[in-house]
Structure 1
Amino acid sequence: MHAFENLDVFGGVVSLDFANTVDGRATEQPVEYLHTYADLAAWSAYMGMIDDATAERLGRLDGGASLDQALSLREAIFQVFRAIGRGEPAPVAELDEVRLRYAEAVAAARLSPGDDGTFGWRFEGDDPDRAWWPIAVDAVRLLTGGPLDRIKVCAAPAGCVGLFLDTSKNRSRRWCTMDGCGVDAKVKRQATRRRTAR
Protein backbone atom coordinates (compact mmCIF):
# COMPACT_ATOMS: atom_id res chain seq x y z
CA MET A 1 0.00 0.00 0.00
CA HIS A 2 1.27 3.48 -0.85
CA ALA A 3 2.08 5.74 2.09
CA PHE A 4 -0.60 8.20 0.94
CA GLU A 5 -3.30 5.66 0.15
CA ASN A 6 -5.49 7.02 2.95
CA LEU A 7 -4.91 10.70 2.13
CA ASP A 8 -7.93 12.31 0.46
CA VAL A 9 -6.79 14.40 -2.51
CA PHE A 10 -9.59 16.89 -3.08
CA GLY A 11 -7.99 20.34 -3.47
CA GLY A 12 -8.23 20.47 -7.25
CA VAL A 13 -4.72 21.92 -7.63
CA VAL A 14 -1.38 20.76 -6.23
CA SER A 15 -0.80 23.75 -3.95
CA LEU A 16 -4.15 23.29 -2.17
CA ASP A 17 -3.59 19.55 -1.90
CA PHE A 18 -0.22 20.33 -0.33
CA ALA A 19 -1.89 22.59 2.26
CA ASN A 20 -4.21 19.66 3.02
CA THR A 21 -1.35 17.34 4.01
CA VAL A 22 -2.31 18.23 7.57
CA ASP A 23 -5.77 16.69 7.96
CA GLY A 24 -8.29 17.97 10.50
CA ARG A 25 -6.29 21.09 11.32
CA ALA A 26 -8.87 22.49 13.74
CA THR A 27 -9.48 19.21 15.58
CA GLU A 28 -7.85 18.02 18.79
CA GLN A 29 -5.79 15.46 16.87
CA PRO A 30 -4.75 16.77 13.44
CA VAL A 31 -3.00 14.21 11.22
CA GLU A 32 0.38 15.12 9.74
CA TYR A 33 1.34 13.25 6.57
CA LEU A 34 4.82 14.70 6.02
CA HIS A 35 7.05 13.59 8.90
CA THR A 36 10.33 13.28 6.97
CA TYR A 37 11.95 14.60 3.84
CA ALA A 38 11.46 11.14 2.28
CA ASP A 39 7.70 11.59 2.90
CA LEU A 40 7.82 14.90 1.02
CA ALA A 41 9.65 13.34 -1.93
CA ALA A 42 7.19 10.43 -1.98
CA TRP A 43 4.22 12.82 -1.85
CA SER A 44 5.64 14.82 -4.76
CA ALA A 45 5.86 11.61 -6.78
CA TYR A 46 2.35 10.56 -5.68
CA MET A 47 1.05 13.89 -7.03
CA GLY A 48 2.97 13.51 -10.29
CA MET A 49 5.37 16.43 -9.76
CA ILE A 50 8.43 14.20 -9.97
CA ASP A 51 8.81 10.63 -11.17
CA ASP A 52 9.26 7.67 -8.84
CA ALA A 53 12.95 7.24 -9.66
CA THR A 54 13.66 10.88 -8.79
CA ALA A 55 11.64 10.54 -5.58
CA GLU A 56 13.71 7.51 -4.58
CA ARG A 57 16.98 9.34 -5.22
CA LEU A 58 15.82 12.48 -3.40
CA GLY A 59 14.44 10.41 -0.52
CA ARG A 60 17.94 9.13 0.23
CA LEU A 61 19.32 12.67 0.63
CA ASP A 62 19.65 14.58 3.88
CA GLY A 63 16.77 16.91 3.15
CA GLY A 64 15.97 18.20 6.61
CA ALA A 65 16.49 21.86 5.70
CA SER A 66 14.44 21.42 2.53
CA LEU A 67 11.61 19.81 4.51
CA ASP A 68 11.61 22.80 6.86
CA GLN A 69 11.30 25.17 3.89
CA ALA A 70 8.54 23.04 2.37
CA LEU A 71 6.53 22.99 5.60
CA SER A 72 6.96 26.75 5.96
CA LEU A 73 5.67 27.12 2.39
CA ARG A 74 2.78 24.77 3.18
CA GLU A 75 1.66 26.81 6.18
CA ALA A 76 1.93 30.06 4.19
CA ILE A 77 -0.16 28.55 1.37
CA PHE A 78 -2.75 27.40 3.89
CA GLN A 79 -3.02 30.79 5.59
CA VAL A 80 -3.20 32.71 2.30
CA PHE A 81 -5.82 30.53 0.62
CA ARG A 82 -7.89 30.03 3.77
CA ALA A 83 -8.17 33.82 4.00
CA ILE A 84 -9.10 34.05 0.32
CA GLY A 85 -11.65 31.25 0.72
CA ARG A 86 -13.27 33.14 3.59
CA GLY A 87 -13.28 36.47 1.77
CA GLU A 88 -10.63 37.95 4.05
CA PRO A 89 -7.43 39.83 3.11
CA ALA A 90 -4.49 37.50 2.51
CA PRO A 91 -1.88 37.83 5.29
CA VAL A 92 1.12 39.84 4.10
CA ALA A 93 3.88 37.82 5.81
CA GLU A 94 2.55 34.57 4.34
CA LEU A 95 2.22 36.11 0.88
CA ASP A 96 5.87 37.14 1.16
CA GLU A 97 6.80 33.56 2.09
CA VAL A 98 5.03 32.21 -1.00
CA ARG A 99 6.72 34.85 -3.17
CA LEU A 100 10.15 34.02 -1.72
CA ARG A 101 9.76 30.29 -2.36
CA TYR A 102 8.43 30.97 -5.86
CA ALA A 103 11.48 33.16 -6.62
CA GLU A 104 13.79 30.37 -5.44
CA ALA A 105 11.94 27.84 -7.57
CA VAL A 106 11.97 29.79 -10.84
CA ALA A 107 15.63 30.71 -10.31
CA ALA A 108 16.39 26.98 -10.50
CA ALA A 109 14.00 26.24 -13.37
CA ARG A 110 14.22 26.48 -17.12
CA LEU A 111 11.47 27.49 -19.51
CA SER A 112 10.64 24.79 -22.00
CA PRO A 113 7.67 23.88 -24.19
CA GLY A 114 5.13 21.35 -23.03
CA ASP A 115 3.05 18.91 -25.07
CA ASP A 116 0.38 21.57 -25.69
CA GLY A 117 2.87 24.03 -27.17
CA THR A 118 2.82 26.44 -24.23
CA PHE A 119 5.92 27.05 -22.17
CA GLY A 120 6.30 26.23 -18.50
CA TRP A 121 8.85 25.95 -15.74
CA ARG A 122 10.73 22.63 -15.79
CA PHE A 123 12.90 21.27 -13.01
CA GLU A 124 15.80 18.87 -13.30
CA GLY A 125 18.56 17.44 -11.13
CA ASP A 126 18.60 16.18 -7.58
CA ASP A 127 18.46 19.32 -5.48
CA PRO A 128 16.37 18.43 -2.42
CA ASP A 129 14.20 21.50 -2.99
CA ARG A 130 13.03 20.02 -6.28
CA ALA A 131 10.37 18.16 -4.28
CA TRP A 132 8.58 21.45 -3.43
CA TRP A 133 9.54 23.83 -6.24
CA PRO A 134 6.50 22.94 -8.42
CA ILE A 135 4.20 23.61 -5.45
CA ALA A 136 5.45 27.18 -5.11
CA VAL A 137 4.96 27.72 -8.85
CA ASP A 138 1.44 26.29 -8.67
CA ALA A 139 0.50 28.52 -5.71
CA VAL A 140 1.60 31.68 -7.52
CA ARG A 141 -0.13 30.54 -10.72
CA LEU A 142 -3.36 30.22 -8.73
CA LEU A 143 -2.86 33.56 -6.99
CA THR A 144 -2.15 35.43 -10.22
CA GLY A 145 -4.46 33.57 -12.59
CA GLY A 146 -7.30 32.39 -10.37
CA PRO A 147 -10.05 31.46 -10.20
CA LEU A 148 -9.78 32.85 -6.67
CA ASP A 149 -13.55 33.19 -6.35
CA ARG A 150 -13.82 29.39 -6.47
CA ILE A 151 -11.48 28.71 -3.55
CA LYS A 152 -13.38 27.39 -0.55
CA VAL A 153 -12.78 26.13 2.96
CA CYS A 154 -14.56 22.95 4.03
CA ALA A 155 -17.73 23.88 5.93
CA ALA A 156 -17.63 20.81 8.20
CA PRO A 157 -18.17 21.82 11.82
CA ALA A 158 -15.79 19.10 13.01
CA GLY A 159 -12.64 21.11 12.21
CA CYS A 160 -11.51 19.80 8.83
CA VAL A 161 -10.56 23.22 7.36
CA GLY A 162 -9.64 21.55 4.06
CA LEU A 163 -9.06 23.85 1.08
CA PHE A 164 -10.46 23.13 -2.36
CA LEU A 165 -11.31 24.61 -5.73
CA ASP A 166 -15.08 24.50 -6.23
CA THR A 167 -15.56 23.44 -9.84
CA SER A 168 -19.31 22.78 -9.52
CA LYS A 169 -21.48 24.64 -12.05
CA ASN A 170 -23.47 26.55 -9.46
CA ARG A 171 -20.56 26.90 -7.00
CA SER A 172 -22.52 25.00 -4.37
CA ARG A 173 -19.84 22.63 -3.08
CA ARG A 174 -19.48 23.02 0.69
CA TRP A 175 -17.35 20.11 1.85
CA CYS A 176 -13.93 18.75 1.01
CA THR A 177 -15.49 15.37 0.13
CA MET A 178 -19.12 14.28 0.04
CA ASP A 179 -18.29 10.82 1.39
CA GLY A 180 -16.29 12.27 4.28
CA CYS A 181 -17.22 15.63 5.78
CA GLY A 182 -20.39 15.85 3.64
CA VAL A 183 -21.78 12.64 5.12
CA ASP A 184 -20.75 13.69 8.65
CA ALA A 185 -22.57 17.00 8.27
CA LYS A 186 -25.72 15.30 6.97
CA VAL A 187 -25.73 12.79 9.85
CA LYS A 188 -25.39 15.62 12.38
CA ARG A 189 -28.23 17.57 10.72
CA GLN A 190 -30.50 14.51 10.84
CA ALA A 191 -29.68 13.89 14.50
CA THR A 192 -30.49 17.52 15.31
CA ARG A 193 -33.81 17.27 13.42
CA ARG A 194 -34.72 14.10 15.31
CA ARG A 195 -33.93 15.72 18.67
CA THR A 196 -36.00 18.79 17.71
CA ALA A 197 -38.92 16.63 16.55
CA ARG A 198 -39.01 14.86 19.90
Structure 2
Amino acid sequence: MSESGFLEPFGGAVCLDFANTLDGRATAQPTEYVHTYVDLAGWSEFAGLIDAPTSARLRRHDSEASLRTALNLREAIFEVFTAVGRGETPPAGSLDEVRQRYAEAVASARLGPAPEGSFTWEFTGDQPDRAWWPIAVDAVRLLTQGPLNRVKVCAAEAGCIGLFLDTSKNRSRRWCTMDGCGVEAKVQRQARRRQATRR
Protein backbone atom coordinates (compact mmCIF):
# COMPACT_ATOMS: atom_id res chain seq x y z
CA MET A 1 0.00 0.00 0.00
CA SER A 2 1.25 3.52 -0.81
CA GLU A 3 1.55 6.44 1.60
CA SER A 4 -1.72 7.77 0.19
CA GLY A 5 -3.54 4.69 1.48
CA PHE A 6 -4.21 3.32 -2.00
CA LEU A 7 -2.97 0.07 -3.47
CA GLU A 8 0.27 0.54 -5.40
CA PRO A 9 -0.57 0.32 -9.12
CA PHE A 10 0.51 -2.87 -10.87
CA GLY A 11 -1.96 -3.12 -13.76
CA GLY A 12 0.07 -1.33 -16.40
CA ALA A 13 -3.02 0.60 -17.53
CA VAL A 14 -5.14 3.12 -15.63
CA CYS A 15 -8.37 1.26 -16.28
CA LEU A 16 -6.92 -1.99 -14.93
CA ASP A 17 -5.51 -0.23 -11.87
CA PHE A 18 -8.97 1.21 -11.21
CA ALA A 19 -10.54 -2.25 -11.51
CA ASN A 20 -8.00 -3.40 -8.93
CA THR A 21 -9.20 -0.85 -6.35
CA LEU A 22 -11.39 -3.68 -5.07
CA ASP A 23 -8.60 -6.02 -4.06
CA GLY A 24 -8.85 -9.74 -3.32
CA ARG A 25 -12.25 -10.05 -4.96
CA ALA A 26 -12.51 -13.83 -4.49
CA THR A 27 -11.39 -13.81 -0.87
CA ALA A 28 -13.63 -13.88 2.19
CA GLN A 29 -12.86 -10.22 2.90
CA PRO A 30 -12.09 -8.14 -0.22
CA THR A 31 -10.41 -4.78 0.40
CA GLU A 32 -12.27 -1.74 -0.94
CA TYR A 33 -10.17 1.37 -1.61
CA VAL A 34 -12.92 3.63 -2.97
CA HIS A 35 -15.59 4.02 -0.29
CA THR A 36 -16.62 7.63 -1.00
CA TYR A 37 -16.50 10.23 -3.73
CA VAL A 38 -13.63 11.86 -1.83
CA ASP A 39 -11.75 8.56 -2.20
CA LEU A 40 -12.54 8.54 -5.92
CA ALA A 41 -11.14 12.04 -6.45
CA GLY A 42 -8.14 11.12 -4.31
CA TRP A 43 -7.47 7.99 -6.35
CA SER A 44 -7.77 9.92 -9.59
CA GLU A 45 -5.11 12.31 -8.30
CA PHE A 46 -2.99 9.38 -7.08
CA ALA A 47 -3.19 7.83 -10.56
CA GLY A 48 -2.12 11.09 -12.20
CA LEU A 49 -5.44 11.70 -13.95
CA ILE A 50 -6.03 15.08 -12.26
CA ASP A 51 -3.74 17.46 -10.43
CA ALA A 52 -3.90 18.31 -6.73
CA PRO A 53 -5.82 21.61 -7.09
CA THR A 54 -8.44 19.93 -9.29
CA SER A 55 -8.72 17.05 -6.83
CA ALA A 56 -9.28 19.50 -3.97
CA ARG A 57 -12.05 21.27 -5.88
CA LEU A 58 -13.73 18.01 -6.91
CA ARG A 59 -13.73 16.71 -3.34
CA ARG A 60 -15.99 19.57 -2.33
CA HIS A 61 -18.75 18.01 -4.47
CA ASP A 62 -18.75 14.70 -2.55
CA SER A 63 -21.10 13.42 -5.27
CA GLU A 64 -22.79 10.13 -4.40
CA ALA A 65 -24.23 9.86 -7.93
CA SER A 66 -20.82 10.21 -9.56
CA LEU A 67 -19.36 7.66 -7.15
CA ARG A 68 -22.06 5.12 -8.07
CA THR A 69 -21.41 5.69 -11.77
CA ALA A 70 -17.67 5.27 -11.28
CA LEU A 71 -18.09 2.03 -9.34
CA ASN A 72 -20.47 0.67 -11.97
CA LEU A 73 -17.84 1.52 -14.57
CA ARG A 74 -15.20 -0.19 -12.44
CA GLU A 75 -17.19 -3.41 -12.27
CA ALA A 76 -17.85 -3.32 -16.01
CA ILE A 77 -14.13 -2.83 -16.69
CA PHE A 78 -13.32 -5.72 -14.38
CA GLU A 79 -15.81 -8.06 -16.06
CA VAL A 80 -14.71 -7.09 -19.58
CA PHE A 81 -10.98 -7.46 -19.02
CA THR A 82 -11.28 -10.56 -16.84
CA ALA A 83 -13.02 -12.20 -19.77
CA VAL A 84 -10.37 -10.90 -22.17
CA GLY A 85 -7.59 -12.20 -19.92
CA ARG A 86 -9.20 -15.64 -19.79
CA GLY A 87 -9.86 -15.82 -23.52
CA GLU A 88 -13.61 -15.56 -23.05
CA THR A 89 -16.27 -13.31 -24.61
CA PRO A 90 -16.87 -10.19 -22.47
CA PRO A 91 -20.45 -9.72 -21.23
CA ALA A 92 -22.41 -7.52 -23.62
CA GLY A 93 -23.90 -5.48 -20.79
CA SER A 94 -20.47 -4.68 -19.39
CA LEU A 95 -19.16 -3.66 -22.79
CA ASP A 96 -22.17 -1.40 -23.22
CA GLU A 97 -21.55 0.19 -19.81
CA VAL A 98 -17.96 0.99 -20.81
CA ARG A 99 -19.17 2.37 -24.16
CA GLN A 100 -21.77 4.61 -22.53
CA ARG A 101 -19.31 6.06 -20.02
CA TYR A 102 -16.77 6.62 -22.79
CA ALA A 103 -19.39 8.49 -24.82
CA GLU A 104 -20.19 10.69 -21.82
CA ALA A 105 -16.51 11.37 -21.22
CA VAL A 106 -15.56 12.38 -24.75
CA ALA A 107 -18.70 14.52 -25.03
CA SER A 108 -17.19 16.69 -22.28
CA ALA A 109 -13.62 16.61 -23.64
CA ARG A 110 -11.61 18.46 -26.23
CA LEU A 111 -8.84 17.25 -28.49
CA GLY A 112 -5.39 18.53 -27.61
CA PRO A 113 -1.84 17.81 -28.74
CA ALA A 114 -0.01 14.81 -27.32
CA PRO A 115 3.58 13.61 -27.64
CA GLU A 116 4.93 12.54 -31.05
CA GLY A 117 2.53 14.81 -32.92
CA SER A 118 -0.66 12.91 -32.09
CA PHE A 119 -3.74 14.16 -30.27
CA THR A 120 -5.52 13.07 -27.13
CA TRP A 121 -8.65 13.83 -25.13
CA GLU A 122 -8.26 16.63 -22.59
CA PHE A 123 -10.61 17.38 -19.69
CA THR A 124 -11.23 20.68 -17.96
CA GLY A 125 -13.74 22.04 -15.48
CA ASP A 126 -14.83 20.80 -12.08
CA GLN A 127 -17.75 18.51 -12.88
CA PRO A 128 -17.80 15.59 -10.42
CA ASP A 129 -17.59 13.02 -13.24
CA ARG A 130 -14.22 14.40 -14.28
CA ALA A 131 -12.70 12.06 -11.69
CA TRP A 132 -13.64 9.00 -13.79
CA TRP A 133 -13.77 10.35 -17.37
CA PRO A 134 -10.11 9.48 -18.15
CA ILE A 135 -10.67 5.95 -16.86
CA ALA A 136 -13.46 5.32 -19.36
CA VAL A 137 -11.30 6.71 -22.17
CA ASP A 138 -8.40 4.50 -21.16
CA ALA A 139 -10.62 1.40 -21.09
CA VAL A 140 -11.83 1.99 -24.65
CA ARG A 141 -8.30 2.80 -25.78
CA LEU A 142 -7.09 -0.55 -24.44
CA LEU A 143 -10.04 -2.38 -25.96
CA THR A 144 -9.59 -0.83 -29.40
CA GLN A 145 -5.81 -0.45 -29.60
CA GLY A 146 -4.62 -3.27 -27.35
CA PRO A 147 -2.45 -5.05 -26.56
CA LEU A 148 -5.33 -7.30 -25.47
CA ASN A 149 -3.16 -10.40 -25.82
CA ARG A 150 -1.14 -9.15 -22.85
CA VAL A 151 -4.09 -8.67 -20.48
CA LYS A 152 -3.88 -11.27 -17.71
CA VAL A 153 -5.66 -12.26 -14.50
CA CYS A 154 -3.53 -12.96 -11.43
CA ALA A 155 -3.07 -16.73 -11.05
CA ALA A 156 -2.83 -16.63 -7.25
CA GLU A 157 -4.88 -19.35 -5.59
CA ALA A 158 -5.76 -17.04 -2.68
CA GLY A 159 -8.42 -15.20 -4.69
CA CYS A 160 -6.68 -12.01 -5.81
CA ILE A 161 -8.08 -11.86 -9.39
CA GLY A 162 -5.98 -8.74 -10.04
CA LEU A 163 -5.76 -7.54 -13.64
CA PHE A 164 -2.51 -6.55 -15.30
CA LEU A 165 -0.67 -6.16 -18.59
CA ASP A 166 2.06 -8.74 -18.97
CA THR A 167 4.94 -6.76 -20.49
CA SER A 168 7.53 -9.52 -20.04
CA LYS A 169 9.33 -10.58 -23.22
CA ASN A 170 8.07 -14.16 -23.14
CA ARG A 171 4.70 -13.31 -21.59
CA SER A 172 5.44 -15.50 -18.60
CA ARG A 173 4.19 -13.23 -15.81
CA ARG A 174 1.53 -15.02 -13.78
CA TRP A 175 0.98 -12.89 -10.69
CA CYS A 176 -0.10 -9.31 -10.11
CA THR A 177 3.08 -8.64 -8.08
CA MET A 178 6.09 -10.80 -7.39
CA ASP A 179 6.45 -9.47 -3.85
CA GLY A 180 2.80 -10.18 -3.06
CA CYS A 181 0.95 -12.99 -4.77
CA GLY A 182 4.16 -14.26 -6.37
CA VAL A 183 5.75 -14.84 -2.98
CA GLU A 184 2.58 -16.44 -1.62
CA ALA A 185 2.48 -18.83 -4.59
CA LYS A 186 6.10 -19.86 -4.00
CA VAL A 187 5.42 -20.46 -0.31
CA GLN A 188 2.41 -22.63 -1.20
CA ARG A 189 4.47 -24.62 -3.71
CA GLN A 190 7.20 -25.23 -1.14
CA ALA A 191 4.63 -26.34 1.44
CA ARG A 192 3.13 -28.81 -1.04
CA ARG A 193 6.59 -30.17 -1.85
CA ARG A 194 7.36 -30.69 1.84
CA GLN A 195 4.03 -32.49 2.34
CA ALA A 196 4.71 -34.70 -0.67
CA THR A 197 8.18 -35.55 0.66
CA ARG A 198 6.76 -36.50 4.05
CA ARG A 199 4.27 -38.82 2.42
Q: One fold, TM greater than 0.5?
A: yes
- Quickly name the TM-score band, shorter chain normalised: over 0.9
Alignment check: 8 A CA contact 2:102 2:137 kept: yes
Measure, in 2, the Cα distance between the counterparts of 1:26 and 1:8.
Answer: 19
Q: Give 1:32-47 correspondences, 5 Å limit.
A: 32-47=32-47
Alignment check: 8 A CA contact 2:38 2:62 kept: no
- Comparing 110-119 with 70-79, which one deviates more in the overlay? 110-119
Q: How many residues align?
A: 196
1:176 lines up with 2:176 in the alignment: yes
1:167 lines up with 2:187 in the alignment: no
1:131 lines up with 2:140 in the alignment: no
Measure, in 2, the Cα distance between the counterparts of 1:3 and 1:17.
Answer: 14
Tell me the alpha carbon deviations over residues 163-183 of structure 1, each in whole angstroms, 9 at most, x when there is no partner.
Answer: 000000000000000000000
Q: Give 1:100-139 correspondences, 5 Å limit.
A: 100-139=100-139
CA drift at 1:63: 1.1
Aligned-residue RMSD, C-alpha: 0.7
TM-score (norm 1): 0.97
CA drift at 1:8: 2.7
Gaps of 5+ in 2: none
CA drift at 1:10: 0.4
TM-score (norm 2): 0.97
Tell me the alpha carbon deviations over residues 136-195 of structure 1, each in whole angstroms, 9 at most, x when there is no partner.
Answer: 000000000001000000000000000000000000000000000000000000000000
Measure, in 2, the Cα distance between the counterparts of 1:15 and 1:127.
Answer: 20
